[in-house]
Amino acid sequence: MRNRFTARLVLFASLAFLCAANVSAQTSPAPTNSNRADWMREARFGVMMHFLHDWIMKDQPAAMTPENWNQLIDGFDVETLAQQLEGVGAKYFLISIGQNSGYYLAPNATYDRLTGIKPSKLSRRDLVADLAAALAKRKIRLMVYLPSGAPAGDDAARAALKWQNGPYRNAEFQRSWEAIIREWSVRWDDRVVGWWFDGVYWPNRMYRSSEVPNFSSFAAAARAGNSQSVVAFNPGVVNRVLSLTPEEDYIAGEVSDPNLWNTTRRNTDGLVDGARIHFLSYLGSTWGQGAARFQTDQAIAFSRRVAEVGGVVTWDTPALRNGTYAPEFLVQLKAIGAAIRETPVKP
């Protein structure tokens, strides 16, 4: 009887300890990666650009060749774009490295070696490096966008990289993709301050593993050249603020209809679950294309809702063929930037 009584005392004491630990965990501040993302709190407003071969050349699909891609990239006017971004008050710029077509706007020897595609669909010019130089003169930070999977429209690349689209582990692909990302990150070092990874649709199967590749190795590849790079993983359109993993510093924040966006789970200081609140939507009729879909006062109202809670606002804006923005979009962006700067953060 005494031994059974003693065992019960030990059991009750253990349960009490676990309950106390659980209460402590619930009441302690959420872990945060805000140190890397602190600059975003001050920046508040940035602009995104999808500069993609199949979008820019959509009126000439037969002209999609490596040589024509190089001509497009060579004609990209980084100085004029940087002046435009400075004029609208953008504090950072986010540009696509590439997407589904398999054409990318910077060289990468690892990608060329792994895919074996010749001639290479990667530009000879390192547009990211040239953009970084033009933007740095105006104290505008540069971020880059990349899908988390192989280019969907390039059969050869998908096969060579051993990509399976769907809820698969894709470990062999991911090791190759991280090597490709690592080369770009080291090439650009601290000239690139952030990464936005698209298409993270199956996080449980692909990245939530104790063994690499996983979220940790994915983020480490992006930070190989700059340990302070901010990273976000996008699960698709989510109208509430949601962080996928402690490895990300800010929320991807893709929103199609800004009227549906909400931030009911906000922590203090513009954070949710340790990640910086970030809103990303498009000013054109769709991503990277079309005429303006909002009146300027509408876009301002959406932006202010995010700014009021300490969040960061990025507007994707359609690009012209020379990599600059049309005047009508510059008017909108300038008004949005001014409105965000004048919007106080609510306590």
Higher pLDDT pick, 205 / 58? 205
Amino acid 204: pLDDT: 97
pLDDT digits (tens, 9 = 90+) for 268-283: 789 998 999 999 999 9
pLDDT digits (tens, 9 = 90+) for 162-216: 999 999 999 999 999 999 999 999 999 999 999 999 999 999 999 999 999 999 9
d(CA 146, CA 50): 10
Mean pLDDT of 225-252: 96
Amino acid 265: pLDDT: 65
Displacement of CA 145 from its chain's centroid (Å) = 5
Mean pLDDT of 75-104: 98
Number of structural domains found in the chain: 1
d(CA 66, CA 80): 25
Amino acid 11: pLDDT: 36
The verdict on residue 24 lying in a domain is: no
The verdict on residue 296 lying in a domain is: yes
Amino acid 141: pLDDT: 98
- Residue pair 333/47 in contact (Cβ under 8 Å)? The answer is yes
Tokens of 6: 């003693």
Helical packing angle, 78-88 and 327-341, nearest 10°: 40
The verdict on residue 284 lying in a domain is: yes
The verdict on residue 99 lying in a domain is: yes
Amino acid 334: pLDDT: 98
Under 8 Å CB-to-CB from 33, ≥6 apart: which residues?
230, 246, 247, 248, 249, 274, 275
- The pLDDT of residue 22 is above 60: no
DSSP lists the bridge partners of residue 272 as 275
- The pLDDT of residue 10 is above 60: no
The verdict on residue 262 lying in a domain is: yes
Ranked by mean pLDDT, which of 8-12, 129-133, 270-274 comes out on top? 129-133
Among 33, 24, 70, 177, smallest CA distance to 115 is for: 177
- The pLDDT of residue 247 is above 80: yes
Q: Is the pTM value of this prediction over 0.85?
A: yes
Amino acid 69: pLDDT: 96
Q: What is the mean pLDDT of the chain?
A: 90
Query: Strand, coil or helix: what is 315?
Result: strand
The verdict on residue 31 lying in a domain is: no
| Percent residues over pLDDT 70 in the chain | 89
The verdict on residue 60 lying in a domain is: yes
Among 227, 201, 203, 223, smallest CA distance to 213 is for: 203
Amino acid 343: pLDDT: 97
The verdict on residue 144 lying in a domain is: yes
- The pLDDT of residue 27 is above 80: no
pLDDT band at 9 (very low <50, low <70, confident <90, very high): very low
pLDDT band at 55 (very low <50, low <70, confident <90, very high): very high
Mean pLDDT of 126-143: 98
Amino acid 2: pLDDT: 35
CATH of the domain at 277: 3.20.20.80
Question: 282 lies in which domain range?
Answer: 39-341
- The pLDDT of residue 68 is above 70: yes
pLDDT band at 63 (very low <50, low <70, confident <90, very high): confident
